[in-house]
Structure 1
Amino acid sequence: MWTLRRASLRLRSQGLNAGAARVSFVNLVPTTCVENEGGTHQSGQITNGRLLSADAFFGTGRTSLNYAVARRELSSQAGSSSTKEDDDVLEGGLSEMDLSHGSDDDAHLSDGDEDAGKLNDELDLSDGEIDPTKKKSPGRLPESELFNAILKAPGLSIDSALNKWVEQGKELGRKEISSAVRNLRRRKMYGRALQLFQWLESNKKLEFVESDYASQLDLIAKLRGLLKAEKYIQSVPESFRGELLYRTLLANCASQNNLAATEKIFNKMKDLDLPLTAFAYNQLLLLYKKLDKKKIADVLLLMEKENIKPSIFTFRILLDAKGQSNDIAGMEQVLETMKAEGIEPDVQTQSVLARHYTSAGLKEKAEAIVKEIEGENLKENQWACATLLRLYANLGKADEVERIWKVCKSKPRIVEFLAAVEAWGTLKKIEEAEAVFEMAWKKWKLNAKNCSVLLMIYANNKMLEKGKDLIKRMADNGLKIGPMTWNALVKLYIEAGDVEKADSILQKAIQQGELQPMFSTYMAILEQYAKRGDIHNSEKIFHRMRKSGYTSRISQFQVLIQAYINAKVPAYGIRERLKADNLFPNKTLANQLLLVDAFRKNAVSDLLD
């Protein structure tokens, strides 16, 4: 673990941290709790030698970690911020079962990022097994008779279908229920899955154990929010309020990018003397990778102190963090440490390495990994086709994309169809992307998220009319759009030079109120207004982001301040705003602040003005 933590400190030696290195103790301490306008709370920041706890999310008082760790220097940039890729990763986010079978449930769905999906995989609740400790099987799940009965239930309620099932004397055992729930979750029909649990509980058709309560908690968090999920725990019999229940809530806090709530539940688990496994620490690592990379070393030091061995997911997060920081040497050092711990990289981990090698221009290393993923017999490894399509496209190898597509074309799954569409789009081969999309459209009932893959390709290539035609087609087929579609639409109009229309689309999305637009959707519009030096509209978008819960990120302030720079006016009170959000300027932001400081005028600048 010491080698691993030492690798996390390399970023500082490469000059990526601005200013003097900070000294910190990982100790969540009580703070005054103030709710912001959006009803969400800002994440904790390292200041004055401590990691301050975030504003209380659940309003249940103050918590603190009861231990501190030794003094050391921090890794990565001070005030390291997330990128668009951190927040809205399309790659790997498309599931084989992302089909629209129930519109009543689709309205509740959000387009989570790749990391959120991996996080839920680790939780073993993403497939909705009644027993979350069981490993999910690869490939297509068999569809149970109970699942089909629920699928065909008319209207918004499935109670009539379940009552009829019982009246007909059909089996309602744990195995049948488990299969039905898995299939509902794979299709993201969370509403119906929750109704099933509630019906089972109210009709006393299943003797609930902790894993059942955890699965129901997971569904409540997804559909009704974290506060409702936390309240649900209080209704669970005390004997079942164990580690599984709280780690389920912890995972949902992390998957919703709510660092405040994640830290809160992490502390509560410790207060309740519940086991804090690598899984729990991974939630913090996942969010710090996005929001504040300099805190990664804190978590690693805590894991070392508590003798927690890192999992493969831990290493994957660290490898990705290194790659995002363009620290390829550091990434390779983490990989060596991983192998020394006896953990061999899986396909997901290899994909992370290949993507970052490609981005760094190290194509030979990337190609070697991609060949390793492919193996000697691709027909036997067809499950890897979707990953290979994307990786070869990133490498610019159209011939290889064509070869891989031919292998899976005879019997493709939807995940491979969509990966092929995305791959051809990456290669700027629009006709090929459209042809594959049409094949998928004829074979399956695609949902809006699936269509967003092609829509984003149109946006990236400034093909406004084709994008509008696709949106009309989606509307004509009754598809309900969500954050990924909004994101593609906004980019479509921005690329066409119509930022006002993009802003209007975002405003309508916000007014719908069911789902939260992506971070990158807001940022795309904010960046356009900043380029114009349009301070009024830049501040307006910045304010909307805060109301949506996207707060305390250096990247937002950098773009906002750029608006003031381009408008050539001082930004009064901007330092105080940063301080209020517990943000420490990195080198770029510090230089920007100098340019908008209202008190730096001198005689020469007056003459120049």
Structure 2
Amino acid sequence: MLEPLPSLFKTSISNFSLRRLLIMWTLRRASLRLRNQGFNAGASRASTVNFVPTMCVENEVAIQYHQVTCGGFLSSSASYDAGHAYLKYAFSSQAGASSTREDNDDLEDSLSELDTHETDNESEADLPDSDEYDSGKPHDELGLSDPEIDPPEKLEGRKVRSELFQAILKAPGFSVHSALDKWVKEGKTLNRSDISMALANLRRRNMYSRALQVFEWLESNKKLEFVEKDYASRLDLIAKLHGLYKAEKYIERVPNSFRGELLYRTLLANCASQGNLKKTEETFNKMKDLGLPVTAFACNQLLLMFKKVDKKRIADVLLLMEKENVKPSSFTYKILIDAKGHSNDIAGMEQVVETMNAEGVEPDIKVKAALVRHYISAGHKEKAETVLKEIEGENLKENLWVCSTLMSLYANMGSTEEVERIWKACKSKPRMSDCLAAVEAWGKLNKIEEAEAISEMMSKKWKLSSKHYAVLLKIYVNNKMLKKAKELIKRMADSGCRIGPLTWDALVRLYLQEGKLEKADSVMQNALENKRMKPLFTTYMAILEQYAKKGDVHNSEKVFQRMRQAGYSSRISQFEVLLQAYINAKLPAYGIKERMKADSLFPNKAVAGQLVLVDPFRKTQYSELLD
């Protein structure tokens, strides 16, 4: 049933932000569509534009829009049942699962609400004792921390000291059980407070393997009476280390009384952070079927997925939130701001900010940083500078915690003077995060000597891990300073640094720059022997792209399979590169469409064009004559 647009505002104030966002999102998309199509049809054409919530059904051939006439909108009451039915249908049909390589870039994952990593970078995440690296939030935002034991104000920016954690940290990688056995044998206390604090510190350093071993020991020795939070925390670690399939199997072992909203939203968040659209949709529907509440957190995971793979479906989630009376969180607005920014829709981005302000939601530093990045990308330097001044505040010395963010953003803008000014303000007593940000900022500005000087200062102040050296190493690789990069890797080895995914990535890129593809591939082979860590997605892609350029289908397929074996869910960008290998080899790709469908992926425009070229049954001008 249709209702006039003004009647939408006859709702409670609590729904105003969603109404405004939903209408704004739809109108902005319609206006952009008009702008792209041009106005040569005159005013009469503009008068028949359909403003709709963009619920669409997609397949390989076409996109069918369910539209409403101009001046009308879906009714919140009468029309929602159809909308909700569509939403569930769309989830089950994997509609619109196409994406671009930019959407699948690891940079996208940095916007995840969990801020999680796809690898157990234990060997590259051990921070020195004096480190003040900001942490704890991923665990807190999942709702897995104990506010009385590990409150956010302790976890953010300050080290939580724990004797039990130190004992676990000193144990060799796979000897956590022995360390805990020794702890108990010595008669030391092992209460929930000790355990929670130790786990919080392990998570801060991304030492997920050790954290999982702690849970395994606690269960086998019956040293802790598990509650839903403990099961959810263990599920989170399994998903990070062993993938979504093992995480789902673990849920089957959890007692029914503890299979609640916290457990499933933990699984949902990991599905989204790992970029698995199918599993994200299935898990969300499972939560609905179980009667679990629809929360802003759960809806944010959907928004994160659709921001990456199909921005047209964002309006569907906003409509769902409106029906379920779910109030947008600060992170909801952040996702919408980023979606508009990546689409270069600056006016739309600013409208989201206006709605945010109207609802009294104060933009935090992450939201403001996102605004700055998009302003810079769109060439709005003055607007970027205005927001940067807001981040800095009136007195930088009273807000030194923002220095790392400011240096990174000013470097993106190309402002050497501002980076130097911010660094001077904090270099007398810098945090580790400030130093790393400064090294990276100078690297962006091609001030290699300045970056080297700070890195040298860090090595004298702290015992550095390979994670910290990797920042400078990346600068060398990006600037093709091969000799210096090799010298730094040797220095890392001499200082006892353990090699992990970041260093593997640098080594691979070094060899690729030298044209030594086979040598780069051998680095990957050796890396795969390390069962605790897996190479980065981008490392695999770098090698896959080189084999594809050579038209080496055999090795391209091998790398493709290795990525699957390592636990990376298939992405459209992988198939795009793989198809290019077949094209360059001038070979047909049998069954490639079926493989994509099996992974719930549908071709975008670029991939659809490639599929035509590798279709083994494609008719040509000459084959038609022979027929």
Question: Who is 2:238 aligned against?
Answer: 220
SS at match of 1:217: helix
Q: How far did residue 407 of structure 1 move? A: 1.8
1:77 and 1:586 in contact (8 A); partners too: no
Which residue of the other structure, out of 267, 291, 295, is the alignment partner of 1:273? 291
Code of the aligned partner of 1:524: A
- State the distance in 2 between where 1:146 and 1:18 align: 61
**Structure 2 residue aligned with 1:4:** 21
1:11/1:327 contact within 8 Å kept: no
What CA RMSD, in Å, does the superposition of the two structures yield over aligned residues? 4.4
Post-superposition Cα deviations, 1:214-255, rounded to whole Å, max 9, x if no partner, equal 223333333444344334334444333321122222223333
The residue that corresponds to 2:106 in the other structure is 87
Which residue number in structure 2 is paired with residue 289 of structure 1?
307
Cα deviation code 1:186-216 (max 9, x no counterpart): 1233344344444445555544432233223
Return the alpha-carbon distance in structure 1 between the equivalents of residues 573 and 339 of structure 2: 17
SS class of match (1:68): helix
1:195-344 equivalent positions in 2, closer than 5 A: 195-344=213-362
Equivalent pair of 1:316/1:349 in contact (CA under 8 Å): yes
CA distance in 2, matches of 1:22, 1:583: 24
Q: Which residue of 2 aligns with 1:106?
A: 123
Q: Does 1:412 align with 2:430?
A: yes
Which of 589, 597, 601 is matched with 2:620 structurally? 601
Q: 1:389, CA displacement in angstroms?
A: 1.2
Q: Which has the higher contact order (CA 8 A, sep 6+)?
A: 1
Structure 1 pair 569–343 and aligned structure 2 pair: CA distance change class (3 A): same
2:79 maps to which residue?
Answer: none
CA distance in 2, matches of 1:397, 1:303: 41
What residue number does 2:442 align with?
424
For residue 263 of structure 1, report the CA deviation from its aligned partner: 2.7
SS at match of 2:397: coil
Q: Which amino acid aligns with 1:256?
A: Q
Asked if the contact 1:87/1:518 (under 8 Å) is kept, the reply is no
CA deviations over 1:433-483 (Å, ceiling 9, x no partner): 111112222222322222221121111101112222222222333333333
Calculate the TM-score normalised by the size of structure 1: 0.78
- Equivalenced residue count is 560
Q: Look up the equivalent residue of 2:373 and give its one-letter code.
A: R
The AA in structure 1 aligned to 2:168 is: I
Equivalence for 1:378: 396
The residue type paired with residue 620 of structure 2 is K
| 1:272-315 Cα deviation digits (max 9, x unpaired) | 21222111122222233233434333323322232222211122
Q: Pick closer, same or farther for the CA change 1:180–1:452 going to 2, 3 Å.
A: same
Higher share of residues assigned helix: 2
Aligned partners of 1:251 and 1:283 also within 8 Å: yes
Residue of 531, 534, 546 corresponding to 1:528: 546
Please list, as runs of the form range in 1=range in 2, the aligned pairs for 1:182-201 lying within 5 A after superposition. Answer: 182-201=200-219
**Partner SS, residue 307 of structure 1:** coil
Larger deviation, residues 429-438 vs 447-456: 447-456
Match of 1:457 in 2: 475
Query: Cα distance 1:461–1:441, how it changes in 2: closer, same or farther (>3 A)?
Result: same
Matched residues, percent identical?
Answer: 62
Q: For residue 398 of structure 2, give the secondary structure of its aligned residue in structure 1.
A: coil
Give the structure 2 partner of residue 40 of structure 1: none
Partner Cα distance (1:72, 1:481) in 2? 46
Q: Name the aligned partner's letter for residue 446 of structure 2.
A: K
Tell me the distance in 2 between the aligned counterparts of 1:45 and 1:17.
Answer: 26
- Look up the match of 2:463: 445
Whether the 8 Å contact between 1:460 and 1:495 is mirrored in structure 2 is: no
Give SS of 2:105's match: helix
8 Å contact kept, 2:261–2:287: yes
Letter in 2 for 1:522: Y
* 1:108–1:405 distance in 2 versus 1, CA, 3 Å: closer
Corresponding residue for 1:61?
none
Amino acid at match of 2:482: L
| Distance in 1, Cα, partners of 2:491 & 2:109 | 22
Residues 516, 548 of structure 1: 8 Å contact kept: yes
The one-letter amino acid paired with 2:398 is: E
Aligned partner of 2:201: which letter?
N
Q: Which residue of 1 aligns with 2:420?
A: 402
Cα-to-partner distance string for 1:333-383 (whole Å, 9 max, x where unaligned): 222222233212100111111111111221111121111111112122111
- Once the 2 structures are TM-superposed, how far is the Cα of residue 392 of structure 1 from its aligned partner? 0.8
Name the residue aligned to 2:497.
479
Q: Match for 1:150: what amino acid? A: I
Tell me how far apart the structure 1 counterparts of residues 245 and 217 of structure 2 sit (CA, whole Å).
22
Separation (CA, whole Å) in 1 of partners of 2:107 and 2:535: 10
Distance 2:563 2:110 in 1: 24
Q: 1:494 to 1:318 in 2, by over 3 A?
A: farther
Distance (whole Å) between structure 1 residues aligned to residue 476 and residue 388 of structure 2: 27
Deviations 1:492-522 (A, max 9, x none): 3333343343333334334545433333223
Between Structure 1 and Structure 2, whose CA radius of gyration is higher? 2
- SS of the aligned residue for 2:85 comes to coil
- Any conservation in 2 of the 1:285–1:317 contact (CA below 8 Å)? yes
**CA spacing shift, 1:146–1:161, aligned 2, 3 Å:** same
| Cα separation, partners in 2 of 1:603 and 1:142, compared to 1, 3 Å | closer
Against the structure 1 CA distance between its residues 354 and 314, is the aligned structure 2 distance closer, same or farther, given a 3 Å change threshold? same
Q: Which amino acid aligns with 2:123?
A: D
1:286 to 1:544, Cα distance in 2 relative to 1, 3 A: same
Counterpart CA distance in 2 for 1:190 and 1:119 is 13
Instruction: Quote how far apart the aligned CAs of 1:429 are.
Output: 1.1
CA contact (8 A) 2:96 2:309 kept: no
Whether 1:353 aligns to 2:345 is no
Query: What is the rounded CA distance, in whole Å, between the counterparts of 1:45 and 1:314 in structure 2?
Result: 30
Cα distance in 2 for residues equivalent to 1:360 and 1:435: 33
Aligned match for 1:492, one of 510, 523, 538: 510
Unmatched 5+ stretches in structure 1: 28-43, 51-64, 110-115
TM-score normalized by structure 2? 0.76
In 2 relative to 1, CA 332–478 (structure 1 residues): closer, same or farther, beyond 3 Å?
Answer: same
In the alignment, is residue 140 of structure 1 matched against residue 151 of structure 2? no
* Aligned equivalents of 2:600, 2:242: Cα separation in 1: 29
Residue in structure 1 matching 2:410, options 365, 370, 392 = 392
For the residue of structure 2 that corresponds to 1:211, the secondary structure is helix
**Counterpart-to-counterpart distance in 2, 1:154 and 1:575:** 46
- What are the residue-to-residue correspondences of 1:540-579 with 2, within 5 Å? 540-548=558-566, 550=568, 553-563=571-581
Distance, in Å, in 1 between the alignment partners of 2:184 and 2:548 is 61
Is the counterpart of residue 368 in structure 1 residue 378 in structure 2?
A: no
Q: CA deviation at 1:170?
A: 4.9
The answer to whether the 8 A contact 2:439-2:455 is kept is yes
Contact kept in structure 1, 2:302 and 2:317, CA below 8 Å: yes
TM-superposed CA distance for 1:72, in Å, is 13
What is the correspondence of 1:112-123 to structure 2 with a 5 Å cutoff? Answer: 122-123=141-142
- Whole-angstrom distance in 2 between the partners of 1:428 and 1:265: 45
Instruction: Give the letter for the 1:86 counterpart.
Output: D
The worse-fitting range, judged by mean Cα deviation, of 449-458 and 495-504 is: 495-504
Q: Select between 559-568 and 141-150 the one with higher mean Cα deviation.
A: 559-568
Matched, 1:502 2:520: yes
CA contact (8 A) 2:121 2:533 kept: no
CA contact (8 A) 1:458 1:492 kept: no
Tell me whether 228-237 or 404-413 shows the greater mean CA deviation.
228-237
